[in-house]
Structure 1
Amino acid sequence: MREIGNRSKPSKLPQSSKANIKNARVDEGEHRRNRTLILSAATAAAAVIVYYLFLKGGVLRSFRNTMPVGDDRAFDVVDIPGKGKGVVAMRDIEVHPYICIESDSSPAQLLKSRLRNLTPSQRDEYYSLSYVHPGKHLKSLSEDDITLAIFQTNGISAGDSVGLFPRTARLNHGCSAAFNSVYSWRSREGNLVVHAIKQIKRGQVDFFFSFEDPEMNSNLNIQQELLTTYMDTKRPRHERQAYVKSNYDFTCTCSVCSLPEVESRTSDKRLSKMTDLYQTFATWGRGEIDGITASRIAKDIWELGEQEGYWSERGRLAGDVVYVASAHSDERGVLAWAHLARKWFSIELGNDSTQALEMQTVLNKTRSHFAWGTRYPQLIELPAHVG
C-alpha cells in the first residue's frame, strides 16, 4: 500500500546531495535541506562524483533553449532591487496554463568541459546564475569551484537525475501564500513545466522597496514577480527564514515573511497546524484512523489552506482522499474528491499529466481505483469546496 500524505515533488538540489545527486527527489519537509554549500579542497572530489553519477549513468542531455508557451512576453527576466534577477509578469497570467516548458542543460557536460562546448551566450547565461558563496575564509574561487557552486545551487531534480533549467532557476522564492508558480518534471517529454497556481496580475508586486525618485517607484510597481518555493514552507517564519539563510544565503522578505507581528503569528499557527494535520492524516495508511476521520482532516487542511492562501499540494491531498474513499468502497466520496483532484492536478501539473488523467479514469469508472474495497465499507465526508 502506498503511503498517503507524502508531499514529494521536484526541488532544487539539496546542498547535502554532493555525493548522492541521483537522490534529489525528497520527501515532505526535506525539500532543499541541510547545510550551506562549502567549497574547499573537497570540491574536486565532489566534481568527480558528479561526473560519474551522470556520465557513467548515461544521463546526458544536450543544452536546449526554453520553449515559449503562447505569448512569450507573458514574463521576462529582469533586475529586481535587493534580489538580483527575477521573473516578472509582463501581462496578466491566468491560473493553470503552462508558463514555460524547459529542457535541461547537461550538468555532466558542464562539469566535464567547464562549459567549453556551449555557445558564448549559453555560457553567459549559466555564469550569470547565482550561487551560495563558500564563506569569507576563501579568498578566491577557481572556475571549477564556481561551475560546481552554480550547479549545486540551481540544480533541480528531474526524475532520477538532476538538471539545470536556466529560465526556471530565475524564479525567486516565496513562502506560503506568497508563491504563485510551481514546477514539475514531465518524464514522458523530458521537460520541466512551470504552472501558475494563482492569477498573476501585471500591476501587482510582492517585493517592497521605496526610492526617493518617484519615477523609480512607478517603474517598480508595474509588474508582479513570479515566485516559486524552495522548501516546504508550512512552518513558522523564524524557521523559514533561518532555513533559506542557511541554505541559500538570503533573508526572505516575501509578503508572508513581511507581515506585521500579530498577523505573522496567526499565519504561523495555520501553517504549523497544517503540518500537524498532514502527519495525522498519513496515519490512515497504518490503520490508526478511519476513513471518516481522514476525510475530515483533509477538509480541515483544505480550509486552513484557504484561509492562509496556500494553494499548493491540493491535487495530491484530494487524490489521497480518493484513495481513502476507494478503499472504503464509497462511490459518492470517490466522485466528489476525484473532481477536486483532477482540477488541482490540472492546475499544478497540467491537464495532460499522469495524475490528472488517472483521476479522469476514476471519474469515468468509479471502481477502477486499485484500492477499491481493500478496507471495510464506510461513507467518508465530502469536500466543502468545489474549487
Structure 2
Amino acid sequence: MVLLRLSSLLLVSLLTSLSCAQVLSADAVEDGHALGQEPLQHGAFADVMEPVDAADVSGSEVSDSDGPVDPDAADTSDSADSAVFTLRSLALRNRPSSFTSRTFGSSFTSKSNSSRQFHVYTAPDVADGRGISIITTPDRIGHFRRISLDPGVNQHAAPPPFEKRDMPGKGRGLVATRMIHRGDRIFAHTPLLILDAQLFDGGGGGGNEDNNEPAWRALQEEAVAGLPAASQGMFWELYGPPAKHPVEGRIDANSFDLDMGDHETMYYGLFPETSVSRRQGQETQDEDGHQTNTTRHDNASQRLNHDCRPNLAYFFDNNTLTHHVHAATDIPPGAELTISYINTAQPRRYRRHQLRRTWGFNCSCSQCSLAPPLARASDKRLARIQDLMARFESGLVASAPVAEHLVSLFRMERLHAPLAEAYAIAAVSHCFEGRYSETLRWANLALEAAMLTAGPHSETIRDLSQLADEPEKHECWLSPLKNSRGFEGLGI
C-alpha cells in the first residue's frame, strides 16, 4: 500500500537513541516524517459502532477457522456512559431501522498464520454528521471506545484564510486570501476511514494468494457505503489510479499511517481534505461503475495539492482521532497552500518518479522545475543530508558544528517541516559536550518546530521539553558513552 507518512516515531526514536543508546533504523529516516489542543469534548463519539457476523460476502460465507468471535469480548471494562463506541452484537437481520449501512465481517490469515476476524464498524452520526467507518478486529475496536473529540474539529475559521480555485493541471486547490503566519492553524479533521494495518499483512494484505480478495474489497466498499452521503461524495472526489479497483485504489493512494500510541498497533487513515484530488477533466468510475468527472465545483473538492517544498505541516493526534494542519512558514496572500505526498528529502529524479507512478502526474513545483545546474546542486545537498543523518544515527558523527551544518542544509533546501529533526540533533550534540546555552537554544528551536509536526501532547514534545528545561539533567548531558568518534555506541 502506498501511504503518506504521519508518524512521530522518528523524532522520538532519535532522541531516545541519542540518550539511551537505542538503534533507529535508516528506513525510518528515509521514509518517515517527524510528526500533535484544546480541552477535550468527552464522549463525542458516543454512538453505536456495530459489527455484523461474517456472512454473504460477494455471495458466499467466509468463515473463521477458530469459530465466530464475540464482538462484545473486547474491552468491556468501561461503562456505557464513558464509552466512545457502544458495541452491539446484532446480526444484519436484527439491525435497527435507523442504522442503514450494511456491514460485513470477513476472515483473513495474518502474517503469523493466526486467523483474525475483521469487521466494519460504522458510526454515521459522529463528528457532526461527518461519520466514520473503521475496519478492525473485535479485540481492537475497544481502543476507539475511549476516543473524545477536540471542540473545533472539522470546522474552519470564519472566514477561512483560504479559498478554492481552479489550479491549472491540478484540479482544485486552496489559495491564501490573507497573510498566514507560521503556526496558524489551517484546519483539523477526523478521518472518514480507519483501516487496521493487520488487514494488509500477509494473508489479509491484498495478496491474491489467499483467495480472499473479493471479501477484502467488500470490507472496504462497505466501509465507504456506511458513511453519510456527503462524506461518500468527498471520498469519490479523491484520486484513484485508473487501473485499480475504484475503492481500493483511492484508499491506497490517499491513506496516511496512523500511530495510535501503541507502537505495535498501526492503522491507516483517510482524510479527504489532505488527500489527492483528481485532476481537472479526469474521469473515473464510482462503485456502481458510473462515470464521474471533477469539473463540478462543490464543497467536497477542497484539496491540498502536492509541493516538494510544502508550506504546510501536519500531525495526527491519536487522543482525538484528529489530523491537524498548520502553516510551516509564513504564506503571503495569493500563494497556494500545499503539503507533501512523499518524503521530499529525496533527489528530484526519485521524487518525480514516485509521484508519477503513484499519483499519475509529473511534478512541476518550483523545486522540480529548477534549472539543471541548480537541480544538481540541490540533489548534492539532499545526498549530504541523507549521509549525515545516517552517520549520526550510526554513531559515526557527534560534532556539534557538523550538526549545525546539517541544520543549514535543511534550511537551504527549505525543508521546513522536518527541521525539528535537525534541531534536535544539534541540541543533543551540544548536550553531549556540556554546552548549556547552546543546548537550550537548539532544544527550544526543536520544541517549537515539533509542535507543528508532532503535536503538543506527543512523546516527542515531552522529551524535548525535558531537554529544553533542564539539559544538565537529561541523559545526554556529558554522556560518558561518547568517545572520539562521537555517537558511536549510542545507536543514533
The reply to whether TM is greater than 0.5 is yes
**247-256 or 70-79, which moves further after superposition?**
70-79
Q: Deviations over 1:136-188 (max 9, x none)?
A: xxxxxxxxx2112111111111112111111121322111xx31112111123
Give the letter aligned to residue 154 of structure 1.
N
Q: Deviations over 1:239-268 (max 9, x none)?
A: 211121122221111111112222222222
Cα 1:112/1:147, change in 2 over 3 Å: closer
**80-89 or 343-352, which moves further after superposition?**
343-352
Matched, 1:266 2:377: yes
Local SS of the residue matching 1:111: helix
Segments of structure 2 that go 5 or more residues without pairing to the other structure are 8-26, 34-61, 63-105, 111-116, 120-134, 196-217, 260-265, 276-302, 487-492
Looking at structure 1, the residues matched to 312 and 318 of structure 2 have their Cα atoms a distance apart, in angstroms, of 19
Matched, 1:132 2:263: no
Within-5 A mapping of 1:137-148? 145-148=245-248
Cα 1:125/1:243, change in 2 over 3 Å: same
Q: Which has the higher helix share?
A: 1
Looking at structure 2, the residues matched to 111 and 183 of structure 1 have their Cα atoms a distance apart, in angstroms, of 26
Local SS of the residue matching 1:230: coil
Contact 2:5–2:256 (8 Å) recurs in 1: no
The aligned counterpart of 1:55 is: 136
Looking at structure 1, the residues matched to 107 and 362 of structure 2 have their Cα atoms a distance apart, in angstroms, of 32
Looking at structure 2, the residues matched to 198 and 243 of structure 1 have their Cα atoms a distance apart, in angstroms, of 25
Q: CA deviation at 1:378?
A: 8.9
Matched, 1:195 2:326: yes
Looking at structure 1, the residues matched to 228 and 342 of structure 2 have their Cα atoms a distance apart, in angstroms, of 33
Q: CA deviation at 1:365?
A: 2.0
Q: Deviations over 1:46-91 (max 9, x none)?
A: x9769839321327699x9952354452124443221123232232
Looking at structure 2, the residues matched to 48 and 252 of structure 1 have their Cα atoms a distance apart, in angstroms, of 40
Looking at structure 2, the residues matched to 9 and 121 of structure 1 have their Cα atoms a distance apart, in angstroms, of 26
Contact 1:345–1:353 (8 Å) recurs in 2: no
**305-314 or 104-113, which moves further after superposition?**
104-113
Contact 1:343–1:356 (8 Å) recurs in 2: no
Q: Which has the higher strand share?
A: 2
Matched, 1:27 2:28: yes
Looking at structure 2, the residues matched to 352 and 72 of structure 1 have their Cα atoms a distance apart, in angstroms, of 28
The aligned counterpart of 1:162 is: 268
The aligned counterpart of 1:111 is: 220
Local SS of the residue matching 2:337: strand
Give the letter aligned to residue 383 of structure 2.
S
Looking at structure 2, the residues matched to 309 and 31 of structure 1 have their Cα atoms a distance apart, in angstroms, of 17
The aligned counterpart of 2:389 is: 278
Looking at structure 2, the residues matched to 297 and 70 of structure 1 have their Cα atoms a distance apart, in angstroms, of 42
Q: Deviations over 1:207-243 (max 9, x none)?
A: xxxxxxxxxxxxxxxxx21111122222322221112
Give the letter aligned to residue 226 of structure 1.
L
Cα 1:165/1:72, change in 2 over 3 Å: farther
**261-270 or 356-365, which moves further after superposition?**
356-365
Q: Give identity over the alignment, percent.
A: 23
Looking at structure 1, the residues matched to 321 and 31 of structure 2 have their Cα atoms a distance apart, in angstroms, of 24
The aligned counterpart of 1:313 is: 418
Looking at structure 1, the residues matched to 480 and 393 of structure 2 have their Cα atoms a distance apart, in angstroms, of 16
Looking at structure 2, the residues matched to 71 and 269 of structure 1 have their Cα atoms a distance apart, in angstroms, of 44
The aligned counterpart of 1:93 is: 180
Cα 1:261/1:48, change in 2 over 3 Å: farther
> Which structure would you say has the larger Rg?
2
State the TM-score, normalizing by the size of structure 1.
0.69
Give the letter aligned to residue 104 of structure 1.
P
Within-5 A mapping of 1:1-387? 10=6, 27-30=28-31, 52=118, 54-56=135-137, 57-58=140-141, 67-107=154-194, 111=220, 113-134=222-243, 145-159=245-259, 160-169=266-275, 170-175=303-308, 178-203=309-334, 224-284=335-395, 288-289=396-397, 291=398, 293=399, 295-350=400-455, 353-375=458-480
Local SS of the residue matching 2:136: helix
State the TM-score, normalizing by the size of structure 2.
0.56
Give the letter aligned to residue 266 of structure 1.
A
Contact 1:95–1:347 (8 Å) recurs in 2: no
The aligned counterpart of 2:79 is: none
Looking at structure 1, the residues matched to 417 and 402 of structure 2 have their Cα atoms a distance apart, in angstroms, of 17
Looking at structure 2, the residues matched to 71 and 354 of structure 1 have their Cα atoms a distance apart, in angstroms, of 32
Q: CA deviation at 1:95?
A: 0.4
Cα 1:146/1:283, change in 2 over 3 Å: same
Alignment RMSD: 3.4
